[in-house]
Each structure stands twice: as C-alpha cells, then as structure tokens.
C-alpha cells in the first residue's frame, strides 16, 4: 500500500511539474514572439517616413540637374510640387521623433538642420515662382544654388536620422534579447525551485509513509503489529457487517520460549521468532492477516473463514512448528506452539473477539501446551481432553 501510494504521488508530481514546465515554455515563446513584434513596431512608422523622406533630396537633385541642362518649364512645376511636400515631411518626422522614446539629445542637431532647411525654402520658392512668372530663367543660378543647399541639408539630416533609428532599433532588440534571457533564467530558476519543492514533498511523503509503516510493523519479523492488526480487524468487521461474511481470529504463543533465550541467547531467540513468522506466512492464505502481538505471541485474522477453517489452519501450524528446524546451537531443541481460535458470532468488535481468543489461548497453555483450544461461544465450551502422538509427545487437542 505504501509503495503504491508513493508511486502515485510521484507520478502526480511528475505530471504537475511537466505541466508547469510546458506552461513556462509557452510563456517564454509567447513573450519572445510579442517582444520581436514590438521591437519591430516601435520604429516601423518612423523608419518608413524617413525612407520616404530620403526620396525628396534625390528627387530634388534630379529636378535641379534637369533645370540646369534643360530650360523646360515643366521642371519648375515639379520643383514647385516638391517644395510643397518637403515641409510636410519634416513636420511629420519632427512629431514622431518627439513621441518616440529616443533621447532628444540624440536627434536635436538633426532637427536643427531640418529647421535650417525649412528656413531656406521660402527663398527657393520665391525664386521658382519668379521663374514661373517669367521674371527669370528656369535654370537661374539662384534657384540652383538654393536648391543644392536644401538638397544637401535634407540628404545629410535624413541619412543621419536613418542611421540613428537603425542604431536605436538594434539597441532595443539587444535589450529585449537580454530581457528575454533574464526571463528565461528566472523561469528556469522557478522551475528548479518548484522541482526542489516537489522533490522535498515526495521525500516527506515517503518518509511519512515509512514512519507510518514502521509504526505498524514489527521490526524483527516484518509482520504487522498490534496496531496494524486492530486496523485490519476494523476493516474486516465492517465487511462482515455489510456482507455477513464469517470472520475468525487465532492467537498463538510459542511454548517455553524463555528457555531458548536463556539457554542460547537473545540473538538465537530472535532468529527463532523470525523463522516462526515465515512458517506462519507460508501456511496462511493471501487474505489472512498475520501479526506479532509482542514477545512470542502472534495472531492471525482470517476473513471469510469459519471456525473449522481456523482449526484446520491451526493444525497445520502446530505440525509445521514441531518440524521447524531451529538455528545454530538450538538445533536439538524442539519448538511447540499453543493456539486459541474463535469465530466472531456477534458484532461486538475486535476487543471482545480478542478477549475470547485470549481465554482459549490461556486454556491451551494451562492444559499442557502444544495444543489448540477453540470454541464458537463460551456457552458451547466443554472440558478439554489430551491426545498424544504415537511417539509419546503431547498431541494436538481441539477443545470445543
């Protein structure tokens, strides 16, 4: 029962730990995926606007080159449209930078450069307007000079801003990786702590079960003790009340056992008790409960057994005890046992049944030992008679 209980607890703890480990792994996986998405989303819009804005200085350069080598006024229209788009780009980027988590000191100089570019745009727009009104040539040096200043300022500012954003994104990604690693380490430590607690619980349970078993087990013979037999008897009486099954109890006491201890020493006596316990276990059924009550006294609880069954078992035990070889220097000694046996007829519990069987054992001891005394009830008892074996040894007497 203890081994099964310990294995059951161990299995439940393993399942629980596996579930916790799985949940932790899923949590880490979810966190990593969300963290990566967040890292990408933080600068996506701003990087997109900067990339689009970088097209403006390139387009401005192409338009200015076209005006320098071609006097077609359509290039003025393209330049006019481009000059109207550049301030909106700058303002959009300025607002997103201020809403971002970037340090203002890192992009303050770039905003100053863009502000200077904006300050040059009115003069360039005025020159373009004058050229459109016929007050100057499309390829006028003033337009080209102002345009080149605007183009250089935009190209430098956007290039630096793009590099700044990539560096910030890389730093954020590195930070998220470190946080992910820290989270994984913390979860691993948590799993180790949970595993240690579960292992401790398992060992505590096993120790408790071992102590409980030891408190109910005789250390010398590995049989159950009096407490264990009482618990088994309560279960047997409960089953008897439910199903009306028979129940018998047998009490056994080794005859003159003190002489063995006195003559050969307690180690030999302990070996005799252990051997006798094995004899009992060989003779009983699997459902029978064998216990050492103390000293050289043993008991056998027999569920689903009538008195006749108990008597038959007692006779086998008496014969087996007589023929049991004793260890070492006690080999020449012959061991006998006195047995009392009763069947439960009333639902008076274990104490009443034990009292009755103890009386039968007492009679067996006082009437010559090496015998069986049994009765279904005190009112049916008759006087005992002795029977002797052919070799003159005390025989097996059943008193009813």
Give the model confidence (pLDDT) of 279-293 as tens digits.
999 999 999 999 999
Task: Choose the weakest-confidence range: 173-182, 235-244, 372-381.
Answer: 372-381
Where does the pLDDT of residue 386 fall: very low under 50, low under 70, confident under 90, or very high at 90 and above? very low
List of residues 6+ apart from 128 with CB closer than 8 A: 76, 79, 80, 83, 143
The arithmetic mean of pLDDT across residues 137-159, rounded, is: 82
CATH superfamily of the domain spanning 226-399:
Reverse transcriptase/Diguanylate cyclase domain (3.30.70.270)
- Residue 394 has a pLDDT of 36
Length of the chain: 400
Q: What is the CATH number of domain 2-196?
A: 1.20.120
Give the position of tokens 């080159």: 65
Domain extent listing, the chain = 2-196, 226-399
Fold match flag (2-196 vs 226-399): no
- Residue 392 has a pLDDT of 33
- What is the rounded distance in angstroms from the CA atom of residue 244 to the CA atom of residue 269? 41
The arithmetic mean of pLDDT across residues 315-338, rounded, is: 92
262 touches 214 (CB < 8 A): no
Question: Model confidence over 113-124: pLDDT tens digits?
Answer: 889 988 988 988
pLDDT averaged over every residue in the chain = 82
Does position 365 have pLDDT exceeding 50, yes or no?
Answer: yes
* Lookup: tokens for 20: 């916790």
Question: Model confidence over 218-253: pLDDT tens digits?
Answer: 889 999 999 999 999 999 999 998 888 999 999 999
> Is 91 among the residues known to form the active site?
no
Q: DSSP of 197-251, one letter per residue?
A: HHHHHHHHHHHHHHHHHHHTB-TTT--B-HHHHHHHHHHHHHHHHHH---EEEEE
* Residue predicted with more confidence, 155 or 26: 155
- Residue 25 has a pLDDT of 76
Give the position of tokens 């998220």: 176
- Residue 381 has a pLDDT of 45
- What is the rounded distance in angstroms from the CA atom of residue 21 to the CA atom of residue 16? 9
Q: State the virtual CA torsion across 365, 367, 368, 370 in degrees, nearest 10.
A: -60
Given 77, 133, 283, 296, the catalytic residue: 296
Confidence (pTM): 0.51
């Amino acid at each position: 029962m203890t081994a099964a209980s310990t294995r059951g607890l161990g299995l439940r703890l393993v399942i629980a730990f596996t579930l916790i480990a799985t949940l932790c792994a899923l949590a880490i996986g979810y966190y990593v995926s969300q963290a990566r998405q967040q890292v990408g989303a933080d600068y996506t819009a701003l990087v997109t606007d900067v990339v689009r804005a970088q097209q403006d200085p390139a387009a401005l350069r192409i338009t200015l080159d076209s005006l320098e080598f071609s006097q077609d006024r359509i290039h003025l229209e393209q330049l006019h449209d481009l000059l109207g788009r550049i301030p909106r780009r700058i303002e959009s980027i300025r607002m997103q930078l201020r809403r971002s988590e970037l340090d203002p000191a890192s992009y303050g100089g770039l905003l100053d450069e863009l502000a200077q570019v904006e300050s040059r745009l009115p003069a360039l727009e005025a020159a373009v307007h004058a050229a459109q009104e016929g007050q100057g040539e499309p390829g006028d040096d003033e337009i080209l000079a102002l345009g080149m200043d605007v183009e250089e300022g935009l190209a430098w500012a956007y290039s630096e801003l793009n590099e700044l954003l990539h560096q910030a994104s890389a730093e954020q990604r590195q930070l998220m990786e470190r946080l992910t690693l820290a989270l994984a380490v913390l979860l691993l430590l948590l799993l180790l702590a949970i595993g240690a607690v579960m292992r401790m619980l398992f060992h505590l349970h096993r120790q408790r079960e071992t102590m409980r078993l030891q408190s109910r087990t005789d250390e010398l013979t590995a049989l159950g003790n009096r407490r264990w037999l009482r618990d088994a008897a309560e279960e047997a009486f409960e089953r008897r009340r439910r199903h009306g099954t028979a129940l018998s109890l047998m009490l056994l006491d080794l005859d003159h056992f003190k002489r063995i201890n006195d003559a050969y020493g307690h180690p030999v006596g302990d070996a005799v008790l252990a051997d006798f316990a094995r004899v009992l276990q060989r003779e009983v059924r699997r459902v029978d409960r064998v216990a050492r009550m103390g000293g050289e006294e043993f008991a056998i609880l027999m569920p689903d057994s009538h008195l006749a069954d108990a008597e038959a078992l007692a006779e086998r035990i008496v014969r087996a005890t007589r023929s049991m070889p004793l260890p070492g220097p006690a080999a020449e000694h012959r061991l006998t046992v006195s047995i009392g046996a009763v069947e439960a007829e009333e639902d008076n519990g274990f104490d009443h049944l034990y009292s009755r069987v103890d009386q039968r054992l007492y009679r067996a001891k006082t009437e010559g030992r090496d015998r069986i005394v049994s009765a279904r009830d005190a009112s049916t008892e008759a006087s005992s008679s002795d029977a002797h074996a052919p070799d003159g040894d005390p025989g097996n007497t059943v008193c009813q």
